[in-house]
Structure 1
Amino acid sequence: MRSVISCGRVPLLCAVSLLALAPLTARAEQAGPQNAEAAAQAETSALDAPITVTARKREESIQTTPISITAFSGAGLEARGIQSTDRLAEVTPNLTLQNNPSFSGASNSASIYIRGVGQQDFVPTVEPGVGVYVDGVYVARSVGAILDLVDFERIEVLRGPQGTLFGRNTIGGAISVTTKSPGDTLSANGAVTYGTNNLIVGKATVNLPLGEKAALRVSGGYFGQDGYVTRTSDGKKLGDANRFAGRIALRLDPTETWRIDLGFDGTTARENGPAMSLIGINYGRTTDPNTPPFADINNIIANVVAGVGFFPCATPAAPLNLAVAGCYDNRYVLGPDKNAGTAPSYSNSDIWGIGLTNTFELSPDIKLKSITAYRRLLGNFARDGDGSPLTIAEFTDRIDQKQFSQEFQLLGKSFDGALEWILGAYYFRESGVNVNGLTFVISQFQSGGAFRNESLAAFGQGTLKLGSRIKLTAGLRYTRDNKAFHPDQFIIANRAAFLGPPFNSPIFDPGTRVLPNVEAKVHFGEVTPMVNLAWQASDTMMTYATWSRGFKSGGFSQRVFPPIIPGVTTPITDPVAAIPSFAPEKVDAFEAGFKFQTPDRLLTLNASAYYTDYKDLQVQVFTSVAPVFRNAGSATIKGFEAEAQLRPVHGLLIEGALGLTDASYDQIDLATTFIAKGNMFERVAKWTASAAVTYEWELPGGSTLRPHADWAYRSKFFNNTFNTPQIAQPGYSLFNASLGWTSSGGKYGLTATIKNIADKRFLMSGILVDAIQAFEGVYNRGREVSVTAAVKF
């Protein structure tokens, strides 16, 4: 969604720029009262306001929290023109956050990586590597995890394992979202945006006090835009947006020591499916020699039907054969804005949740918090997997997922505040059904089944003051996971029996179970400790060092084909043991960093370096058409982040960030994974960088003009573990700009925004399904222009 410019040396320039700020630290520490007063006057911008975070389950300044963290206020994101969480990666080092279409066609599916750790698959039997939390509640599934930003207080991106306080599935980090609580003042605000491709965004919020001890806050939004990939068969626009989101929050204060926060949120989407386009066809080749090549099989059938021989109608040397009507060839490779598919394509979802937080002040130094939540996800998705009128690959997906969680936190201070501590207990239960319909050139079958996940944990953490400037923090968490999967997978039709062996084998007959019709269970128990030492070297500088451990839970391989039949296609005779499962993966992370800020906030400079020992990687192992997960590798990830803010004069804010993620496999089995030891991690760029300039100019009469420009860079990355060049994305730069006006008193606002100024295109995500032999991808939109009008009461 931005301009694309090659700039291989830019990260080095960024690093030099950040280092060039270092001499300013001496000047900042010598800043006199005049500078302090000027800087204090500059603290009027929502973009620049100091942020309080809760990364350690208690409110702290971001500058005194010894964690590598990037945080944004809701007003700050609004000022930057960010209206959904998938744009956070543009302003956060070492973060990948893509709206990545799932295998079966969900438009809103979050692919999140922090410091190289994330999630390869999006089925509910495989866990994410980065946890997403909304008001302290874990959001288990990636579908719907790209959040439209309506009435948010702040977003915190925590880098590195958060296994002690947040728990499992946070080995890369966590994204914590906090919504706005009801206030004591009657107020309302609204905004409307219109732009390119009929972009229509409407948001509104009303805050209503209900006496002295209660308040209600209601917010809602609509997000709509025409798609930008046109299906040539029916004119349907893929990649559209058509979503409604809303939230109701109620705050009650029954007593001076008891607070109740009750919230309900919901999102509904009715969309045409992801903006997929066919990039190319992998004629005559698959990564795994055991995989039947569907495109080639189709092309053999097409030649037989045409009476021209028993060989493929298209090859790498001759990729276009218009003489054969049913040939799957380059006639269907139409560029990033067209798709020749004819199969159903839709992405419909309904997501809602209710949360109840009770906070009790048991004494001036002890507080008890209870967080109870229930969430529900209903989704129906479909897409054409080959991008043509032919039936080579078509997918449908249905998911019905429910989750319940309960967390207790006891927070306190002891020994006259020398010790701050937290004790907690956590329970999580998830259940549901995820069923996939798959129609291939050789077969039609149902995949998926019923799943049940349960997790229990107990944790504690304490921070002890060792003198006036040193703090030692230590924590420990024990987690017990219980998981179950009951496959409901069977052959619906054999579409290639007429080809003879091996396609006419009885194992492909209709009704044959792809996996045994039994429930399999796995259990895991893990301990995740953390130790941190922080030193307040001066009033302006804090340094820290941390060791932590995290784990991502194990699970089951849900997508399997051809059938695994005990004693027939596998030597395993036990039906339960025949269902593929895998164990947790684990990390040990070491981090050291510093946080510097002058008293006048002229300069803020935060940096951290890390080293991660990554073990028991959950790697996709290809044994035939569908991959299974195994613990088949280990890796080392190292790098750093640096973020700076400079406020040289009143109203001017200059921001910069630089991140390095250097990930490499220490051990990987090439024979079973087809991943070379020297391959890059999927979806992970080695370098990320960003910069922004904002100036607030007060006009006569008290109104304000705010020009803003920003830039983001991401170096080359691959979209799969095989490092397939056809779906690789070279390094690129993104630019956008805006001009905002706010009336005196802030009641009215008007903002013009331009994204992707140079109108360039780049590959946001890419897919190679080996058996289908098709390279697919989602490209960004072209240049977009929009205008937003806002009002506050």
Structure 2
Amino acid sequence: MNTIFLRGCTSAFVIAAASLGASQGWAQDAAAGAPAPQDERVDAAEGDIVVTAQRRSERLQDVPISVSVVGGERLARDNLTSLSAVADRLANVRITPGPFDQLNIRGIGSSNNTGFEQSVATFVDGVYRSRPRAIRAALFDVERVEVLKGPQTTFFGNNAIAGALNITTRKPGNAFEANASALYGTYGEYNVEAGVTAPLGEMLSVRLAGRLSGMDGFVKNEFTGKDGPRERNRVGRASIAFTPSANFRSDLRFDTGKMSAQDFLPFELEHCPPPSPFPVGGSCANYIAANGGPVDDELNWRNSSRPGKLDYAFNELGWTNSLSIGDYTLNAITGYFDHDTEYLQQLIPSPVPGIGGGSLLPVFQRETFSQWSQEIRLVSPTGGFLEWQLGAYYGSSKMRNNGVTGFFFAPFGASAPPYTAQTPVAGRLTVHEDATTKSVFGAATLRPVDRVKLNLGLRYSVVSKDAFRALHNGTADPNFPTPENYVPASKAVSDTLNAILGSNNMDFPDPSREDDKLMPSVSVQFDATPDLTAYASYTKGFKAGGYSGGSAGGDFGPETVNAYEVGLKGNLFARQVTFSLSAFRGDYSGLQESVSETLPSGTVRVSVANAASARSQGVEFSASWRMTSWLTASTDLAYLDAIYLNYDGAPCSSIQTLLGASAGCVGRRQDLSGKRRGFAPEWTGNFRLDATIPAGDMQVRISPLLYFSSWYFQSSTADDLIRQKGFAKVDLRVGVGPQDDRWSVAVIGQNLTDRATAGFRQTVSGANGSVSALAERPRTVAVQLTARY
């Protein structure tokens, strides 16, 4: 048996790959690295994938949950530089960059509200990233990304109620190593990366890595004459591995980065004029009149909107210490993360000037966030009748959010004297939140009889939050509203505008809350053969309540889930075929939803609510077939049935807002019971081929990928206007280089059929029936050079 640590795994987008392509070479490289602590060692045969889904190294086949693994080598080769790009190509996973970045697994996620922690938790080397905007932090120089599906509360905490993204970065080894790559493609896309590992003696090794990336933009703005989003990003990482003895290892990592985008979120206008029976009105009618006729309302990577912008900076520190005490291992993970984000977005994609001559509905947000955490785990040896883990976790965070929204699309000031119809009315919202999480947890695996494992888990968490909220109306710069140029109105004028805009100027009624929950889990594994494992599991999941960051204020309670899964994993035909099949069901109660409703004034009021109940169930299948020594085929498929079971207080859809009670909208509320949830397509998946064809001392690598999705809603209102139609997209990579893989030249094509899709949609304020859509990338082609030493 060989000991394999994944360093640049070349696995396909499958739950278990039968082969790593150049697996023998990668295994040797990994074995040459620095020794791992005891809980990072695992016996694995050639071709096995090793993961840390249960916070210790295990063969993927031995983990009783559904896991998709993408190796760092695959990320680099395919130019997948963000978590959203990875998720697009996986079954049952959606990560949507937008006004509020959203993560969804199996149709469950947290929607548009700054007050939500994500239901899909993100961890980097065990350090938790709680804010959704943190998905934009660096995804580079990694060993692998594990996508864990279903509640992961025992090992990853209370906010992993839908799943977890477990990212492992590359660690310094005990041999000199260097790698570099450069890419340039359509729309001015560029990506330059480099990393070097340098041993500084037998006990100390360092690794430095960095990336410069960006693009000129793929959406043509006919108002500004420029393309967007124009991105400029730079990130860096320094890692230190200190191994003074065979019993102790310390890994220290520091990441930092800055990202900026001009023409941020280049929304395109759809349905202007809107379909029947919607009347042409508001900002849509004004746009048509100003244009002197029809306007471009197709999703075609062209818009005509005033620009937005984004500036994002982050720092992250992860420090892992592992001490072997006899046969036991004590692990400590200290984490720190902070970010500063500032962005301006235009929610009405129209060039028509608003009140004051500026934008129609600009939203400015400034958020500062900091978090530190400490986890301690004691891990038993493996392989006996009983193996176990015991641990404790403490995390503390501070969030400060300050935003200004300009309501310049209508003369609201005319109803609030001494303001007039020409007064640029704006609202300023400030939300602060301090939170602490305390947890104790334990897990045990028993082997009562041969070939049977009983896995038990238990976590108890207490989440405390203190929050503050203030909203006031006044005026602001029509072109670029910020807290610095905001001028508050008198209380009487502000209160009058609150009634018109549907906002709430009160602090939270109860600004302190505490939620706690005991979360058990149990699973049974049966090793039918050394290459075939069946399992069944139950998990209790929990996510704490909190406070809304929307204009209506308010708080929300916790959500819970009872999740069930059965599965079969194995290898067939002398390990030529690897497969995984699972069936799952999650029954959610008190599901946290963001409620956006269009008011008679045309404004959109955002609040939060706990949907009564929802269900997520389905089947997932993945397989990899090593057809020949040079050709591997793989697939990852999923069927999903995610619906609301009982939700009779949901906001109305666009057509219901227009037609009222005759369309089932009573008191601006509808009954969504039985309707499909947002971001929950019925079918998703991919098919991939990986061919490595020898040609003398050279080799040619050809990797086509087809990935697809059936239609899905993009809001929590089951609105037919806010949904993405079904689609299929094709990627292709063709590379050539020597067989030792020391360098390569490749051409990478993505979305080669040029299929137009939108990752996010929302209604247009003041124009019921019209939609603004955030287009995903069109066809792109790039040339990539890589080298390693």
TM over 0.5: yes
SS of 2:271's equivalent?
strand
Q: Deviations over 1:160-199 (max 9, x none)?
A: 1111111111111101000011001112110000111111
In structure 1, what is the Cα distance between the partners aligned to 2:277 and 2:387?
57
1:786 and 2:782 correspond: yes
RMSD: 3.0
Letter in 1 for 2:85: R
Cα–Cα, structure 1 residues 366 and 232, in superposed 2: closer, same or farther, change >3 Å? same
Cα–Cα, structure 1 residues 44 and 240, in superposed 2: closer, same or farther, change >3 Å? farther
Aligned match for 1:693, one of 689, 692, 713? 689
SS of 2:253's equivalent?
strand
In structure 1, what is the Cα distance between the partners aligned to 2:23 and 2:291?
69
In structure 2, what is the Cα distance between the partners aligned to 1:358 and 1:719?
42
Contact 1:679 1:721 in 2 (8 A): no
By how many angstroms is 1:461 displaced? 0.6
In structure 2, what is the Cα distance between the partners aligned to 1:235 and 1:406?
49
Cα–Cα, structure 1 residues 185 and 173, in superposed 2: closer, same or farther, change >3 Å? same
Partner of 1:676: 672
SS of 1:275's equivalent?
coil
Letter in 2 for 1:336: N
Cα–Cα, structure 1 residues 421 and 330, in superposed 2: closer, same or farther, change >3 Å? farther
By how many angstroms is 1:230 displaced? 2.8
In structure 1, what is the Cα distance between the partners aligned to 2:276 and 2:430?
28
In structure 1, what is the Cα distance between the partners aligned to 2:136 and 2:559?
25
What are the ranges of 5 or more consecutive residues in structure 1 without an aligned counterpart? 1-17, 19-35, 104-108, 288-292, 300-312, 497-502, 562-578
SS of 2:258's equivalent?
strand
Cα–Cα, structure 1 residues 513 and 664, in superposed 2: closer, same or farther, change >3 Å? closer
Cα–Cα, structure 1 residues 537 and 744, in superposed 2: closer, same or farther, change >3 Å? closer
Aligned match for 2:386, one of 415, 419, 428? 419
By how many angstroms is 1:599 displaced? 7.2
Partner of 2:451: 469
Letter in 2 for 1:594: L
In structure 1, what is the Cα distance between the partners aligned to 2:498 and 2:538?
54
1:338 and 2:281 correspond: no
SS of 1:507's equivalent?
helix
SS of 2:133's equivalent?
coil
Cα–Cα, structure 1 residues 620 and 745, in superposed 2: closer, same or farther, change >3 Å? closer
SS of 1:546's equivalent?
strand
Contact 2:461 2:518 in 1 (8 A): yes
Alignment of 1:538-687 (within 5 A): 538-561=529-552, 580-598=554-572, 600-621=574-595, 625-670=604-649, 671=666, 673-674=669-670, 676-687=672-683
Aligned match for 1:460, one of 422, 426, 442? 442
By how many angstroms is 1:151 displaced? 1.1
Alignment of 1:240-255 (within 5 A): 240-255=230-245
In structure 2, what is the Cα distance between the partners aligned to 1:97 and 1:743?
36
Partner of 1:118: 109
Alignment of 1:15-414 (within 5 A): 43-44=23-24, 49-98=47-96, 100-102=97-99, 109=101, 111-123=102-114, 125-146=115-136, 148-272=138-262, 273-281=264-272, 320-322=288-290, 331=295, 333=297, 335-342=299-306, 345-363=308-326, 365-388=327-350, 389-391=352-354, 392-413=360-381
By how many angstroms is 1:321 displaced? 3.1
Cα–Cα, structure 1 residues 505 and 257, in superposed 2: closer, same or farther, change >3 Å? closer
Q: Deviations over 1:527-566 (max 9, x none)?
A: 11100000001122100000001112211122125xxxxx
By how many angstroms is 1:434 displaced? 0.6
TM-score by length of 1: 0.82
In structure 1, what is the Cα distance between the partners aligned to 2:684 and 2:454?
32
Aligned match for 1:437, one of 393, 404, 410? 404
By how many angstroms is 1:387 displaced? 1.5
Letter in 2 for 1:788: Q
In structure 1, what is the Cα distance between the partners aligned to 2:477 and 2:456?
60
Contact 1:740 1:749 in 2 (8 A): yes
Partner of 1:478: 460
1:717 and 2:712 correspond: yes
Q: Deviations over 1:721-742 (max 9, x none)?
A: 2232233211110101111112
- Give the 4+ runs in structure 1 shifted more than 6 A: 39-42, 45-48, 282-287
Count of residues paired in the alignment: 696
By how many angstroms is 1:372 displaced? 0.6
Contact 1:619 1:673 in 2 (8 A): no
By how many angstroms is 1:281 displaced? 4.9
What are the ranges of 5 or more consecutive residues in structure 2 without an aligned counterpart? 1-13, 28-45, 355-359, 413-424, 479-491, 650-665
Q: Deviations over 1:51-79 (max 9, x none)?
A: 21011111001011111111122113334
Q: Deviations over 1:660-715 (max 9, x none)?
A: 110121111145653532422111211112110111111212x2111111101100
In structure 2, what is the Cα distance between the partners aligned to 1:495 and 1:74?
46
Contact 1:89 1:95 in 2 (8 A): yes
Cα–Cα, structure 1 residues 145 and 506, in superposed 2: closer, same or farther, change >3 Å? closer
Letter in 1 for 2:86: L
Cα–Cα, structure 1 residues 771 and 41, in superposed 2: closer, same or farther, change >3 Å? closer
Say which structure, 1 or 2, has more relative contact order (CA 8 Å, 6+ apart). Answer: 1
Cα–Cα, structure 1 residues 394 and 687, in superposed 2: closer, same or farther, change >3 Å? same
In structure 2, what is the Cα distance between the partners aligned to 1:417 and 1:435?
54
Contact 2:112 2:594 in 1 (8 A): no
Q: Deviations over 1:415-435 (max 9, x none)?
A: x72111000100111102111
SS of 1:693's equivalent?
strand
In structure 1, what is the Cα distance between the partners aligned to 2:458 and 2:64?
17
SS of 1:87's equivalent?
helix
SS of 1:537's equivalent?
strand
By how many angstroms is 1:598 displaced? 3.2
Matched-pair identity in %: 26
By how many angstroms is 1:93 displaced? 1.9
Partner of 1:305: none
Contact 2:267 2:303 in 1 (8 A): yes
Letter in 1 for 2:578: T
Letter in 2 for 1:340: S
Letter in 2 for 1:784: T
Letter in 1 for 2:109: G
In structure 2, what is the Cα distance between the partners aligned to 1:711 and 1:688?
11
In structure 2, what is the Cα distance between the partners aligned to 1:182 and 1:532?
35
The more displaced of 539-548 and 776-785 is 776-785
Cα–Cα, structure 1 residues 551 and 518, in superposed 2: closer, same or farther, change >3 Å? closer
Q: Deviations over 1:253-279 (max 9, x none)?
A: 133312111100012112111231122
In structure 2, what is the Cα distance between the partners aligned to 1:151 and 1:622?
39
Letter in 1 for 2:95: L
Contact 1:477 1:529 in 2 (8 A): yes
In structure 2, what is the Cα distance between the partners aligned to 1:40 and 1:722?
43
